[in-house]
Amino acid sequence: MSESEPARIRVMVVDDHPLWRDAVEHDLAQAGLDVVAVAATGREALARFPAARPEVVVLDLQIPAPDGVEVTAEIVRQDPSVRVLILSASGEHADVLAAVKAGATGYLVKSASREELLTAVRRVAQGDPVFTPGLAGLVLGEFQRMSDEPTPGRDAQTLTERETEVLKMVAKGLSYRQIAERLVLSHRTVQNHVQNTLGKLQMHNRVELTRYAIEHGLDDD
Amino acid sequence: MFRALAVLRLVVLVNTVVLNLLRADEFQRPAAGAACVAVMIVWTGFTIWAYDDRERRTFPLLVADLAVALALLLVTPVVKGADYSSSVPGFWVMGALFAWAIHYRLVGGLVAGLLLAAADLQRQHIDASDYGNAFLLVIGGPIVGYMCDSLQRMATERDVAEREAAMAAERARLARAVHDGVLQVLALVQRRGHELGGEAAELGRLAGEQERELRGLIHAQEAVTVVGDAESVDLVAELARLEHGQNVTVATPGSPVELPAATARELVAVARACLDNVRVHVGDDAPAWVLLQAFADRVELSVRDDGPGIATGRLEEAASQGRLGVAESIRGRIADLGGTAELATGSFGTEWEFVVPRSSPDLT
């Protein structure tokens, strides 16, 4: 092992399906990643998270309580630098969107191949959001919904024209490289645009949650 | 219902007692009059207690209630003399009337109303207001009875609806758990099969097909529970079904996109035609992407592939040979929906973009 080799990515796998959890763990370990913890339920995940200190959490949404969305919100609150990659079997729109709003930065359906999973974990670890076309479509729809139903007196987060354009291309299945070529931008700029859209969505969510808390007096105690 | 009646009984009791005190000089037999008022006070207290419990609301109680009211009306000539102008119980008889209406509904209200009206009209001089009061008794009883019946039926229907909604939600929750488990296994088989190769790869491919199929059905089923209107269709659910092919990815908003059924079906058919075209010209395994965006006034649908693009001149060539190419047929179908179709093709692939208004096209 030479010292120049990059540190192994520390990953935690949360899935209540033992076969599946083992398969993911096996794949990640074989590819040289460091699986520092596994968990079968939301409770286990939250209990093991602080000690394991993973960089990336590969998380199934449908787990025994607390569910994947709540786990995402809680671990991101504890450690804002952690990256959450959602791995969902059913890909239910509402759940995926909720998880992304709660702070997840990547989403894959479970039918993704081993290579796709590994690439996704590595990219998420670097801070790149992993968008499937499906997720991009959901996020586009969500921003459209927010601008269609503006709440009086409240500024909805809106996307710039460029961000919308980039997100639309992601939703149409273009890779970042293809988008960069078409728009004559650098690969990095395309990534930044995508990252910003997620950031805005999560910001909107935080603002909404804070407003809700204030309006309902949850900040009193 | 009987709680409200208890309040009404108190109100009419107070009214009757006060009126009797004010007209105390009308009584020919003041002692008997005082006894009548006492009976009303005691009986009101008793009935409020008695009707409070469902168990005690029996036929004998209702008969007794009505009998007391009738008796008080019938003894009025004795207490006040034959030539009285107002009966001793007055409006107090409402208590018994509404008890019958609430308990025995329309028929109960009618029976009690008729009996009370008959008893009230046993007087020597019947003027217009006496007749009016009697008429109100006969009308009021059945109306209150009828309304109680409707209220009861509505409450029952609401309970049933609430129960059904709760059951449907629970079923959906259970179904989600089951579906998720099945999808997990299918995805796993697909993944492992692919890695093992050989016959296992074939199993994996089949599992993958089923997984996509099931996911599409689940999305479609979700939409069914949201939409009850047969006239409109959720385009998101309809498009989700296109995903069953190995290489088609469908991206949509997270919430249903309602469109008139005919428009939605036509859009899906057009998308399918585009995808068929991809299979024919690019290859069976060629990946393709479908994107739906919904705006307040329109929907935008795009179908894209990564193929070599349509060779320059091929469309023109088809047109000059008098063949209506697939492209022209697609354009025509979108134009029929009042929308526009744009085709971009080149080395980057082929991309259709359709913009269709959300309201149905003017068919006149």
**Residue A39 above 90 pLDDT?**
yes
Yes or no, beta carbons of A171 and B291 under 8 Å apart: yes
The predicted-structure confidence for B269-288, as pLDDT tens digits, reads as follows 899 888 888 888 888 888 89
State residue B323's pLDDT score: 60
| Model confidence band, residue A28 (pLDDT cutoffs 50, 70, 90) | very high
Yes or no, beta carbons of B191 and A111 under 8 Å apart: yes
Yes or no, beta carbons of B179 and A110 under 8 Å apart: no
Candidate from A89, A97, A133 with C-beta closest to B183: A89
State residue B67's pLDDT score: 93
The predicted-structure confidence for A97-111, as pLDDT tens digits, reads as follows 888 888 898 888 887
State residue B363's pLDDT score: 45
The predicted-structure confidence for A42-78, as pLDDT tens digits, reads as follows 999 999 999 999 999 999 988 888 888 999 999 999 9
Chain mean pLDDT for chain B? 85
The predicted-structure confidence for A135-170, as pLDDT tens digits, reads as follows 899 889 988 888 877 665 555 678 889 999 999 999
**Residue B243 above 80 pLDDT?**
no
Please give the Cα distance from B146 to B10 (Å, whole number): 24
Give residue limits of the domains in chain B: 2-160, 231-364
**Residue B138 above 80 pLDDT?**
yes
pTM for the predicted model, two decimal places? 0.64
State residue A175's pLDDT score: 87
Q: Is B294 an interface residue toward A (CB < 8 Å)?
A: yes
The predicted-structure confidence for A176-200, as pLDDT tens digits, reads as follows 888 999 899 998 899 889 888 888 8
Q: Is B291 an interface residue toward A (CB < 8 Å)?
A: yes
Question: Which residues of chain A neighbour B204 with C-beta distances below 8 Å?
Answer: none
Q: Is A133 an interface residue toward B (CB < 8 Å)?
A: yes
Q: Is A48 an interface residue toward B (CB < 8 Å)?
A: no
Question: Which residues of chain B neighbour A90 with C-beta distances below 8 Å?
Answer: 176, 179-180, 183, 215, 218
- Cβ–Cβ under 8 Å, residues B252 and B239: yes
Angle between helix axes B30-52 and B2-22 (nearest 10 degrees) is 170
In A, minimum Cα distance to B195 occurs at A114
Q: In angstroms, what separates the C-alpha of B152 from chain A's closest C-alpha?
A: 36
Q: Which of A69-78, A90-99, B8-17, B157-166 has the lowest mean pLDDT?
A: A90-99
**Residue A114 above 60 pLDDT?**
yes
Please give the Cα distance from B237 to B276 (Å, whole number): 20
CA A82-A87-A88 angle, 5° bins = 135
Q: Which of B313-322, B335-344, B354-363 has the lowest mean pLDDT?
A: B313-322
Candidate from B180, B208, B250 with C-beta closest to A111: B208
Q: In angstroms, what separates the C-alpha of B184 from chain A's closest C-alpha?
A: 6
The predicted-structure confidence for B32-45, as pLDDT tens digits, reads as follows 888 999 999 999 99
State residue B204's pLDDT score: 86
**Residue A217 above 80 pLDDT?**
no
CA A182-A185-A188 angle, 5° bins = 125
The predicted-structure confidence for B182-205, as pLDDT tens digits, reads as follows 888 888 888 888 888 888 888 888
State mean pLDDT over B8-14.
92
State residue A2's pLDDT score: 43
Long-range contacts made by residues B74-80, C-beta under 8 angstroms, separation at least 24? B74/B119, B74/B122, B75/B32, B75/B36, B76/B123, B77/B122, B77/B123, B78/B29, B78/B32, B79/B27, B79/B28, B79/B29, B79/B32, B79/B33, B79/B36, B80/B26, B80/B27, B80/B28, B80/B33
Candidate from B177, B181, B192 with C-beta closest to A23: B192
State residue A196's pLDDT score: 87
| Model confidence band, residue B227 (pLDDT cutoffs 50, 70, 90) | very low
Angle between helix axes A68-78 and A42-52 (nearest 10 degrees) is 20
Question: Which residues of chain B neighbour A21 with C-beta distances below 8 Å?
Answer: none
Q: Under CATH, what is the fold of the domain B231-364?
A: Heat Shock Protein 90 (3.30.565)
State residue A67's pLDDT score: 87
For each of the domains in chain A, give its residue range(s) and CATH number, in order of start. 10-130 (3.40.50.2300), 135-215 (1.10.10.10)
| Model confidence band, residue B308 (pLDDT cutoffs 50, 70, 90) | confident
Q: In angstroms, what separates the C-alpha of A112 from chain B's closest C-alpha?
A: 8
Candidate from B176, B180, B295 with C-beta closest to A144: B295
Q: Label residue B53 exposed, middle or buried (CB < 10 Å: 0-12, 13-18, 19+).
A: exposed
Between A205 and A49, the more confident residue is A49
Residues linked to residue B353 through DSSP beta bridges, in sequence order: B302, B342
| Model confidence band, residue A91 (pLDDT cutoffs 50, 70, 90) | low
Yes or no, beta carbons of B251 and A90 under 8 Å apart: no
Size of interface A-B (CB pairs under 8 A): 113
